Structure 1
Amino acid sequence: MIMMDEIVLFNPGDSIGNFHDYHEAVQTAQIYQERHTESGHVVVVKSDNGAPSFDIFLAEQQLDNGQKNPSTSKRYTISKKL
């Protein structure tokens, strides 16, 4: 079975944090989720362009592909859902 990457759109300004180390990003996302249980699902995403960079977003902040203002959004690949 072949697994496809899930590409999503987020507004970079909505990021909870930006990290160059994947494990640090996951650890921070877990801590955030424990402290903000009412916030919903947290995702760690990898930027699709440039050097490896990982951001943390709330899943509910995901934008759909029909976004009216694509200049404010950026493509990411989901690395981990919490």
Structure 2
Amino acid sequence: METRIFFNPGDSIANIHDYNEAVRKGQIFKREREADDLVIAKGPDDEEYAIFYAKDAQVKPKADKAKPYEIKNRL
């Protein structure tokens, strides 16, 4: 099931082309910084995966810069 949610691209922690690398970096980031829940999302261009804080998700775009992302994993 596809879950699309809006994020401001400027809020991303990292942008990575490889999904497995994005998951690995997200896990490391969360462990090292004791971060809140993170999500791995596929970008609107279908070329990159971005790591965001789950709390930054927007059901409806609040800003002109918010773009739809497809949630692939929650950490």
TM-score greater than 0.5 by the shorter chain: yes
In the alignment, the residues of structure 1 paired with residue 37 and residue 67 of structure 2 have an alpha-carbon distance, to the nearest angstrom, of 19
**Structure 2: tracts of 5 or more residues without a match:** none
TM-score when normalising by structure 1 = 0.83
**After superposition, what is the alpha-carbon deviation per residue over 1:38-60, rounded to whole angstroms, capped at 9, x for unaligned?**
x31011000133x4210000000
SS at structure 2 position matched to 1:32: helix
Give the CA RMSD over aligned residues: 1.3
Shift of 1:22: 0.6
**Structure 1: tracts of 5 or more residues without a match:** none
Shift of 1:79: 0.7
The residue aligned with 1:13 is: 10
Q: Does 1:54 align with 2:49?
A: yes
Aligned residues: 75
In the alignment, the residues of structure 1 paired with residue 61 and residue 72 of structure 2 have an alpha-carbon distance, to the nearest angstrom, of 23
Shift of 1:35: 1.2
The structure whose Rg is larger is 1
SS at structure 1 position matched to 2:42: strand
Runs of 4+ with deviation above 4 angstroms: none
The residue aligned with 1:78 is: 71
TM-score when normalising by structure 2 = 0.91
